[in-house]
């Protein structure tokens, strides 16, 4: 009996040490807007400074995450004009950033590997900080004058934009705004695992059927020659495999049977490499076939066409990508496929741009096939300029030789 008890205790300890615990992130509400703070820290504030942050920023009881903003400045000095111009630009460019993220601000030079911001004139900024409710401005540069400002901080590896920081651990998390997918365009929202793969979005807000989609700040990336699609958000028809998440092909049994994928298809990866930001897997007729909405959509509900009374036929089979681009301003591109009209149909039904590149122009590796002799990947966009660049950018280089 005693031996049995010891064996039990040992086996309990054994299983405890092999159990895993993961932070899947949190949903926060700022002025009525839901935000998702990722569970994966992307940088860290030293905790001594984190305590100063707590003192400076009005803390809400029981909430261990505080919004803050990283600002970039290209001029040598930072004063009132730069502060107003920067806030105006962030509000115009980004739907995630709001002035609520300004309670604490970290100022860095936009010349990343170059000098820190050389000087901040605290005295001249004092009133302007009050205008924006900025309780704390911290920078790695020199601060002249006396005020609420605090110097000494260097935070590595952060792009400009809004974030959440945990005062108890110093961990810094990306800020995502949560939108609800009222038209059921998505099968699931996904977020970067910060290691080249993706995780299913674990956050949900309350809606009748709609899922939640989390979009990261557009300020995190800037357009460069290598990243011409920086900041553009996109979703993909759920026949394209994406590393880390399961593919449904519009079929529940396939989703649960196939499990998480190990690789992202080149037609999707190329967009990511060019700077576009993947936010979710989108609805498809089962296996990209020819089902009629809504009669034949049994495993998943057909997405709702945003036009007319909201109950028009959305066409298929790239139904989710077509509906998403028709319905959501916060989504810029959606990748679908066309075998016998699956891009052309939804583009017409939703009143958006859709293209069907020649079969073979775009790699369909890591994509569930329908008929390889006719399958082609395509893209939907509300702007012809944005959509048109997809084919030229994603096309296999071999076809250009």
Q: Which residue lies nearer to ligand NAG by CB, 118 or 313?
A: 118
* Cβ at position 153, least distance to ligand NAG in Å: 13
Options 115-123, 130-138, 181-189, 383-391: segment touching ligand NAG (CB under 6 A)? 115-123
Preceding omega of 317 cis (within 30 degrees of 0): yes
26-35 residues labelled b (16+ CB within 10 A) or e (exposed): bbbeeeeebb
Is 116 among the residues that bind ligand NAG (CB under 6 A)?
Answer: yes
Q: Which of 94, 124, 244, 250 is nearest to 187 (CA)?
A: 250
Site size for ligand NAG (CB under 6 A): 9
Q: Which residue lies nearer to ligand NAG by CB, 257 or 397?
A: 257
**Can you tell me the distance from the alpha carbon of 213 to that of 329, in angstroms, rounded to the nearest whole number?**
13
Options 112-120, 266-274, 289-297, 311-319: segment touching ligand NAG (CB under 6 A)? 112-120
**Residue 114 main-chain phi, psi, to 5 deg:** -100, -130
Q: Which of 294, 292, 342, 353 is nearest to 318 (CA)?
A: 342
Residues in contact with 334: Cβ distance below 8 Å, sequence separation at least 6, in sequence order: 234, 235, 236, 237, 282, 318, 320, 321, 322, 324, 325, 379, 380, 381
Is 144 among the residues that bind ligand NAG (CB under 6 A)?
Answer: no
Q: Which residue lies nearer to ligand NAG by CB, 153 or 261?
A: 261
* Cβ at position 260, least distance to ligand NAG in Å: 6
Is 142 among the residues that bind ligand NAG (CB under 6 A)?
Answer: yes
Is 261 among the residues that bind ligand NAG (CB under 6 A)?
Answer: yes
CB-count burial class (<10 Å; 0-12, 13-18, 19+) for 218? buried
DSSP conformation letters of 282-311 = E--SGGG--PPTTTT--SSPPPPP-STTTT
Options 124-132, 143-151, 255-263, 312-320: segment touching ligand NAG (CB under 6 A)? 255-263
**Residue 29 main-chain phi, psi, to 5 deg:** -115, 120
Q: Which residue lies nearer to ligand NAG by CB, 77 or 359?
A: 77
Q: Which residue lies nearer to ligand NAG by CB, 119 or 294?
A: 119
CB-count burial class (<10 Å; 0-12, 13-18, 19+) for 16? exposed
Options 41-49, 230-238, 254-262, 280-288: segment touching ligand NAG (CB under 6 A)? 254-262
Residue from the set 43, 59, 118, 205 that interacts with ligand NAG by CB under 6 A:
118
Residue from the set 12, 46, 262, 392 that interacts with ligand NAG by CB under 6 A:
262
Is 115 among the residues that bind ligand NAG (CB under 6 A)?
Answer: yes
Site residues, ligand NAG (CB under 6 A): 115-116, 118, 141-142, 258-259, 261-262
């Amino acid at each position: 009996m005693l031996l049995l008890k010891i064996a039990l205790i040992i086996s309990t300890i054994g299983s405890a040490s092999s159990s895993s615990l993961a932070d899947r992130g949190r949903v926060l509400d700022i002025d009525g807007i839901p935000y998702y703070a990722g569970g994966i820290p992307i940088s860290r504030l030293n905790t001594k400074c984190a305590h100063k942050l707590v003192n400076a920023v009005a803390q809400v009881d029981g909430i261990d995450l505080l919004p803050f903003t990283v600002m970039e400045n290209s001029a040598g000095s930072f004063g009132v004009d730069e502060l107003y111009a920067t806030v105006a630009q962030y509000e115009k460019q980004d739907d995630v950033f709001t002035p609520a993220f300004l309670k604490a601000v970290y100022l860095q030079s936009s010349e990343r590997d170059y000098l820190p911001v050389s000087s901040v004139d605290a005295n001249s900024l004092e009133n302007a900080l009050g205008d924006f409710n900025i309780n704390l401005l911290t920078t790695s540069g020199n601060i002249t004058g006396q005020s609420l400002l605090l110097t000494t901080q260097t935070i590595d590896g952060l792009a400009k934009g809004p974030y959440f920081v945990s005062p108890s651990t110093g961990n810094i998390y990306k800020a995502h705004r949560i939108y609800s997918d009222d038209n059921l365009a998505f099968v699931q929202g996904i977020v970067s695992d910060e290691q080249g793969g993706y995780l299913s979005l674990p956050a949900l807000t309350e809606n009748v059927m709609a899922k939640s989609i989390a979009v990261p700040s557009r300020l995190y990336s800037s357009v460069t020659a290598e990243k011409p699609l920086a900041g553009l958000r996109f979703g993909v028809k759920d026949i394209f495999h994406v590393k880390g998440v399961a593919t449904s092909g519009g079929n529940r049994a396939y989703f649960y049977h196939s499990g998480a994928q190990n690789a992202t298809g080149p037609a999707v990866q190329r967009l990511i490499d060019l700077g576009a930001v993947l936010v979710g897997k989108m609805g498809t007729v089962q296996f990209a076939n020819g089902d009629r909405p809504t009669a034949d959509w049994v495993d998943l509900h057909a997405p709702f066409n945003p036009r007319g009374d909201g109950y028009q036929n959305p066409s298929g089979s790239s139904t989710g990508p077509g509906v998403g681009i028709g319905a959501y301003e916060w989504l810029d591109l959606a990748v679908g496929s066309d075998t016998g009209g699956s891009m052309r149909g939804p583009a017409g039904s939703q009143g958006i741009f859709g293209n069907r590149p020649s079969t073979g122009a775009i790699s369909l590796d890591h994509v569930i096939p329908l008929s390889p002799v006719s399958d082609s990947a395509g893209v939907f966009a509300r702007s012809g300029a944005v959509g048109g660049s997809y084919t030229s950018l994603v096309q296999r280089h071999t076809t250009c030789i």
